[in-house]
Amino acid sequence: MTSPADPPVTSTAARSRLTRPGRFLADWWSDTVRAPRFAWQLFRRVLNLQFRHSSLGILLAFLPATITALVFAYARRTHLFSDDSGGVNSAFYGGFGVLLAQAFVEAFNAGRRLFVANQGIFRRNVTAIEGPLLATLYEVLFHDAIRIIVMAGLMAAFRVVPSSALPLAIWGLLGVSLAGLGIGFLLATPNALQPDLNALASGLPIVLFTVTPVFLIPPPGSLLGRLHAVNPLAWLFDGIRAAAYGGPGSLTVAAVGPLVAASCLLAGWCLCRVALPHIVERLPG
């Protein structure tokens, strides 16, 4: 028997929260509506921690994407890439593809580290997943905005004429990030419980660059060509290129792909919400 001075005790039932789907969805909506203000504060705190010790300040956020663009611009001047790919210079094709791949990989890494990066918050409030999750989404969108600026500079440097469907390319880029974030959320639970997954995830860029048209267009009958033909991310990359500058690809994929990616994001969000009470007590100290 406890006295009035004893602290409250919170217990987590073993029964899944999905056994009452109506209540689950209502709570999910209610928590999401209340979360944006806290998520914004958390997002600003993350930015301050990242850039307050740098003499460049917020400009440091432009560095990875800008270095990528400069490397490929230099490659053009040295004729390292001399052939055309998809109707544009190969160096531009590769630089544009690497920026797209960066969007996916950065979002994936942010999503899979949701529990690990915010375990201090989760230990204090086992039900508060929407704030950190939305803050992660804000961070991904912030880096996407920077990436769009760098892509525009890359197109200007290579004198690539934008397509009239350019807004669809921005929408497609959002889809790439949402897909990475959603897959990251789906893997956030095993990533929190199995640190070995960090080592496996570090190999993702190599796999991504292999099965997705990042640097070049493979011959249709080759092994890479067959892999690209069945890789949805490759379809989305090509669709974004078609929307951005008229490259080979489907505008329909660029339009529909982000909707599919958003579904993946919601699935990962749902899994994280269900798993959170069972994950927190198992997180390493």
What are the pLDDT digits (tens) for 130-139?
Answer: 999 999 999 9
CB-based contact 101:206 (threshold 8 Å) = no
The percent of the chain in helix, strand and coil, each rounded to the nearest 5, is 75, 0, 25
Write the pLDDT tens digit of every residue in 230-266: 889 989 999 999 999 988 889 999 999 999 999 999 9
Write the pLDDT tens digit of every residue in 215-239: 777 777 788 788 888 889 989 999 9
The reported pTM is 0.83
